[in-house]
Structure formats: C-alpha cells, structure tokens
Amino acid sequence: SDAGAESWAECMDVAVRTALRAGQMVRVCVMQEKRVSSKSTPTDLVTEADQHVEEMIISTLREKFPSHSFIGEESSAAGEKCVLTDSPTWIIDPIDGTCNFVHSFPMVAVSIGFAVKKQLEFGIIYHCFDGTLYTGRRGHGAFCNGVRLHVSKEKDVSKALILTEIGAKRDPHTLDIFLENMKKMLSAPTHGVRIIGSSTLALCHVASGTAEAYYQYGLHCWDIAAAALIITEAGGCVIDTTGGPLDLMSRRVVAAGSRKIADYIIQKLKPINYGRDDDDDDP
Ligand code: IPD
Ligand code: CA
Ligand code: CA
Ligand code: CA
C-alpha cells in the first residue's frame, strides 16, 4: 500500500504542474477574442478555450498515466461516458466559471480531482487570476499556497456567510425554487448569501473559512470532486442535500464548516431535481 501512496503523490505533483500550466493558458486566452457557443441551454456557455485547456490537461496526464480513466466536462459534452469506476480516475473541470471567463470577471479556476476505487485521493484547484493554488490530499490536510487550511469554527447560522450557485437551468420552476431557497437562507437570518460564478472557488472559500457554507443543486462531478477533498481535509463536512454521504454524480451538495450548519441548511432547502451525471439517458 506504501507503493500505491507513493505513486499517488507523484500523480499529484504532475497534476499541480498541469493545473498551473492550464491557468497560464486561461490567462492568455482571456486577453484574446473568445469564441463562445452554448450547449444544453442558451446560458450554458462554452468557449474554444474550455476545449483547448481540457485537451491539454487530459493529453498531458494520459501520456504520463496511460492506464488511468478520465472524466472531463468538455469530453462528456462531446459524448464521452461519465461513469466513475474503481480504476484510478481523473475528474477535470478545465475552466470553472466559463461565464465569468467570457466576461473577464476574475473568478475562474482549473479543477483536477483524482479518485481510486471511487475514493478521492487528492484535489487541486487553481484560481487562474490571483494565482492561488488550493490542494488537498487524503489524510495529509488541505493547503492554500502551502499554508494549512481550516474551515470556519462558527456554529451559529445567524452569523454565517452562505454561498450558492445557480446552474444552467433557468426555467421559471427551477428559478422559483432557487429563489425560495435563497429567501430561506437570507431570512434565517444569516449574514448574507453570495453567488460568485464559480462553484469550485466558492467551495474553496468554505475550505478557507472565509464562508461558512455552500449548497447547490445542478452542479457536476467535476465541480465538486477536487473541492470535496479539500474541504474534508480542512476539517469541514461535505454531504448530500438529503443528509447522506456525498454522491459525486448526484448533482447535489451541501458543504459547511460544521455539521450543525450543514444540517440547518438541509432542513430548510427545497430540492431541485436534476438528472445524474452518470445517467446515459440524461445529457
Ligand atoms: C459552472 C459554474 C457555475 C455553477 C454551475 C457550474 P462551468 O461551471 O461553476 O458557477 O453555477 O453549476 O456548472 O460550466 O463554468 O465550468
Ligand atoms: Ca460549463
Ligand atoms: Ca464547472
Ligand atoms: Ca467548466
């Protein structure tokens, strides 16, 4: 098992270097003219940069680790299967915050998670514009630019700062529930609710203790894989909105510095139904 642990450490080194290189690509691309198109809905944006960055990340990692499996947002969009098996699997979001990227709004990250036998081993999130690197390795803690991360100690929801995101679905029914949930969070009362346009960076705020909690319906496995490990290693809790353990493919999450705040949020939320990431019938 030591040999295994060693090799994951090597994977993590390669992943960090690849994430930094991806971030550099994003910084170059954001200055250039962007070719924007949409995927499932008019607000589900994708650019050539998303595709190029993902290609670079996957080809770099595949060359080093040819036997591993890969799940990437843009590969899935191109029809590749999104199934988590027991084999060592990389779960990649090349640009998290595409809409921000399109507007040059500086909240954009690269996210690389790695799971073996469906268990997350490490996660890396690189904030492309301020150069902050978040890392977490199972059993070894979470760090931001090498400094150990700890979640907030606040247990009182009335003193909490809560983050959330709205996914690509903007039909009136989805928006009604989203706003109803937001209203419940604001009238709890909490200190406030924020939407920054990047699930991974929002989750890094929970890991850093700069926000108490995060919840979302409609995120994908590549939004949560790396972040879930980073938050857990920072002492936080990342669970399903039903209160059970996190299911990477379920498209639901509540993350918080404390189980108490997570439970409070869970009990208030009204669910929004999204399909699963690994359901072939649901694109
Ligand atoms: C999205 C962003 C957004 C969140 C969506 C995500 P993308 O990721 O994180 O803030 O609301 O659910 O899918 O498409 O920019 O990688
Ligand atoms: Ca996207
Ligand atoms: Ca994303
Ligand atoms: Ca993305």
Number of H helices, E strands in the chain: 8, 14
Q: Which of 4-8, 90-94, 238-242, 262-266 has the lowest mean pLDDT?
A: 4-8
Q: Which domains does the chain have, with CATH numbers?
A: 2-148 (3.30.540.10), 157-268 (3.40.190.80)
Asked whether 197 lines ligand 1 (CB < 6 A), one says yes
CA distance 218 to 212: 20
Residue nearest to atom 5 of ligand 1 (CA): 167
pLDDT single digits (tens) 209-219: 999 999 999 99
Q: Is the pLDDT of residue 5 over 90?
A: no
Half-sphere exposure (Cβ direction) of 191: Cα atoms closer than 13 Å: 13
Residues 6+ apart with CB under 8 A from 147: none
Asked whether 164 lines ligand 1 (CB < 6 A), one says no
pLDDT single digits (tens) 143-187: 999 999 999 999 999 999 999 999 888 999 999 999 999 999 999
Q: Which of 28-32, 40-44, 219-223, 262-266 has the lowest mean pLDDT?
A: 40-44
Distance between Cα 39 and ligand 4 center (Å) = 12
Ligand 4 is an ion; its neighbours by CB within 5 Å are 73, 93, 95
Asked whether 76 lines ligand 1 (CB < 6 A), one says no
Asked whether 167 lines ligand 1 (CB < 6 A), one says yes
pLDDT single digits (tens) 220-254: 999 999 999 999 999 999 999 999 999 999 999 99
The mean predicted confidence, pLDDT, of the chain is 96
Q: Quote the percentage of the chain above a pLDDT of 90.
A: 93
Q: ipTM of this model? A: 0.98
- Looking at residue 167, its pLDDT comes to 83
To the question of pTM greater than 0.95 for the whole model, the response is yes
What is the atom index within ligand 1 of the atom nearest the CA of 165?
11
Q: Which of 1-10, 130-139, 261-270 has the lowest mean pLDDT?
A: 1-10
Among candidate residues 129, 149, 127, the one with its CA nearest the CA of residue 229? 149
Fill in the amino acid letter for 63. E
- Looking at residue 283, its pLDDT comes to 47
Are the C-beta atoms of residues 128 and 232 closer than 8 Å to each other?
no
